Amino acid sequence: MSRIYEDRLKEGKIMPYYGQDAIEEIRESVDIVDLIGEYVSLKKKGKHFVALCPFHSEKTPSFTVNREKQIYYCFGCQNGGDIYNFLMEYEHLDFTEAMERLAERAGIELVPEKGSSRENKKDHTLLEINLEAARYFYACFSETGGKEALAYLIEREVTAETRKRFKIGYAPAGWDDLINHLMQKKFLPKDMERAGIANSKDDHKYYTRFRNRLMFPIENIKGEIIGFGGRILGAGEPKYLNSPETPMFQKKHNLYAINLALPEMKRTSTALLMEGYMDVAMSHQNGFTNAVASLGTAFTKEQAALLSRYVQEVVLVYDSDNAGRKATIRAAEAFAESDILVRVADLGEEKDPDDFIKKNGREAFEHVLNRALPFYEYLLSVGIRHSNLDDIEQKVALSKKLVPYLGRIRNAVKMSEYIKLTAKKLDISEESLRFEIKKSKSNDRLEERKEQCRIERREERAEKKAKSIDQIGAREETELLNLCMRDLSIYQKLQNEISTIEYNGTLTKRCFGLLQELECEGKLSFHEVLEKLTEEEKKKVLSITMDEMNPLNVETAKAWIGALKKESLKKEMEEIKTKMDFLEKEGNSSGLLELKKKFKSLQEQRNRI
């Protein structure tokens, strides 16, 4: 199940539509090799099939499909799963949509379970209202005011194809035109207000929120219209107006055009982050289809987290004015807790991306993107550009602005190199910069922030360690898990011995716990285990399972069990040895004798294995 779908499921926005039996029936009816073979060119290699990964760029095939287990896994990008995961990822579907597509392929009739609904009915109504409103706005270009809006778009060189792709429309100037239209479609004004396209007065009379505005529908990652952004035509305030927060629309969790940009973002592992809806639309029109925008508010950590799911690099392409520079810094800071590489494009004298492309062309814009500076280098460049370095006070002021950012650089080598660069550009000594960085960290407010960063970094390191070593566990644990997951009958034959082992790895401990639990429930299957794991855990287990170096038999499993027991006894003996050394120093002969007996007993047990 995709992470996005899981999140929506937890939030109660989507409910399971079909039963578990249907999920299993489809899984048994659709062969994963046949399915994936329709999308990529698979070649048989031993027991498996391999191909160039469809989810990231590569020259050597690392994408592997296992017909026996009905799973796929890419050793390059760690993307993996079953038929549902593949179709959801490749076609950008949710779980239910993937089920329906696969059921149709297999000729299986899906019957909704009693008491279940595909989506919360009220939320579904809001989506229907937004969709109908978007259709209405799009159709209003033929109205009197709409013709002026259309002329404005043509003047801005927006093509008909772009208008259609982004569903750009026009909201008439009337106070109740949209409300009357939606009421004819049997929608209630109170639901229109919940959807954020209508407001109400004290006397419970409703009026349209968006009037005489160019309308930009805002879609979520699934392509559902969850809100709108409106730009005033002519005089009036505010110039830009977004939908309010609604059950379907939270600005900080969404990005404009994320659904349209997703394929190119995944292909390039890069996103272009902009300020304006028109900037994004015109960028897409000119071939830069990985462009997205924040939703009229400051870019948030939640939006940064959304992007970090799909890309490794973000290029900030904000307006070149003072407000744009401030927004650029805020946006870059939102990525401070991630490993995303943030670069900043310099548009020079042009106001925004749309303006730049119109005046300089596509190739010049691509050149600007390719030359985008890493965030700190951008800060340094802008600071120098707006300072007189012959003036000591201005030089000091600039160094003060830069010092906190230098102090936040996690990588020691990178920090050292940037200190050298800054010292050279400002014509100051590295020692003075290092001193200022150290002094800055002693400031109470900055120290508090720094401590928080240290805590978060420790958690991050612990998480990475858990994923790389502790979560998986020692080699013996992973080898045993490998055999049991590849052939569940091995687990069933040895489960009594396996259940006595104390596992160090959180992932191995969890997996063997699930195997025991599912065996007791009579539901033991490879896919049942996968379904109970998180996306990150699933990737690790798929990676472990795909390794077929181990001979697949009970004897090999017993050998790994023996190795684990030996290791456990060794640790226990080391602990006793430490205690013995302590008691010997203390002169506690009776306690020492008792421990020696225990040590010998453990040694004999270990030798018998």
Strand partners, 81: 72
- CATH code (residue 330): 3.40.1360.10
Query: What whole-number distance in Å separates Cα of residue 430 and Cα of residue 422?
Result: 8
pLDDT of residue 6: 40
Q: Do strands 270-274 and 291-293 pair parallel, antiparallel, or not at all (unpaired)?
A: parallel
Residue 320, burial from CB neighbour count under 10 angstroms (0-12, 13-18, 19+): buried
Q: Which two tokens stand for residue 192?
A: 């229109």
**Same domain, residue pair 357 and 288:** yes
- Structural domain includes residue 453: no
pLDDT of residue 185: 95
The DSSP-derived string for 195-214 is HTSEEE-TTS-EEES--SEE
- CATH code (residue 188): 3.90.980.10
**Same domain, residue pair 488 and 573:** yes
pLDDT of residue 579: 85
- Structural domain includes residue 562: yes
**Same domain, residue pair 88 and 129:** no
Is the pLDDT reported for residue 471 higher than 60? Answer: no
**Same domain, residue pair 225 and 295:** no
**Same domain, residue pair 189 and 311:** no
pLDDT of residue 122: 55
Residue percentage of the chain with pLDDT more than 70: 90
Q: Which two tokens stand for residue 418?
A: 């940037």
Q: Which two tokens stand for residue 463?
A: 């998480």
Query: What whole-number distance in Å separates Cα of residue 150 and Cα of residue 170?
Result: 8
Task: Check residue 373 and report its DSSP letter.
Answer: E
With beta carbons less than 8 A apart as the criterion, state whether 541 and 511 touch.
yes
Q: Do strands 270-274 and 341-344 pair parallel, antiparallel, or not at all (unpaired)?
A: unpaired
Q: What is the pLDDT of residues 161-173, one digit of tens each?
A: 999 999 999 999 9
Strand partners, 343: 315, 374
Other CB atoms closer than 10 Å to residue 488's CB: what's the count? 16
- Structural domain includes residue 347: yes
Q: Which two tokens stand for residue 288?
A: 């830069």
- Structural domain includes residue 468: no
**Same domain, residue pair 174 and 216:** yes
**Same domain, residue pair 138 and 197:** yes
Q: Whole-model pTM?
A: 0.57
Q: What is the mean pLDDT of residues 143-159?
A: 92
Query: What whole-number distance in Å separates Cα of residue 524 and Cα of residue 344?
Result: 51
**Same domain, residue pair 411 and 362:** no
Is the pLDDT reported for residue 393 higher than 60? Answer: yes
pLDDT of residue 449: 57
Would you place residue 460 in the very low, low, confident or very high pLDDT band (cuts 50, 70, 90)?
A: low
Q: What is the pLDDT of residues 58-72, one digit of tens each?
A: 788 889 999 989 999
- Structural domain includes residue 460: no
**Same domain, residue pair 370 and 334:** yes
Report the mean per-residue pLDDT for the chain.
86
**Same domain, residue pair 244 and 125:** yes
With beta carbons less than 8 A apart as the criterion, state whether 207 and 178 touch.
no
- CATH code (residue 38): 3.90.580.10
Q: What is the pLDDT of residues 228-268, one digit of tens each?
A: 999 999 877 888 999 998 888 988 889 999 999 999 999 99
Q: What is the mean pLDDT of residues 97-123?
A: 74
Helix (H) or strand (E) run with residue 480 in it: helix 475-486
Last residue of a domain, one of 44, 73, 106: 106
**Same domain, residue pair 396 and 350:** no
- Structural domain includes residue 328: yes
Please state the domain count of the chain: 5
Query: What whole-number distance in Å separates Cα of residue 31 and Cα of residue 36?
Result: 9
Q: Which two tokens stand for residue 255?
A: 């990005």
Last residue of a domain, one of 219, 249, 279: 249
Q: Which two tokens stand for residue 108?
A: 């299986």
Across 374-412, b (16+ Cβ under 10 Å) vs e yields ebbbbbbebbeeebeeeeeeebeebbeebbbbbbbbeee
| Residue type (1 letter), 250 | Q
Last residue of a domain, one of 214, 232, 249: 249
- Structural domain includes residue 357: yes
3-class SS of residue 508: helix
Domain membership of residue 156 as a residue range:
121-249
- Structural domain includes residue 394: yes
**Same domain, residue pair 423 and 544:** no
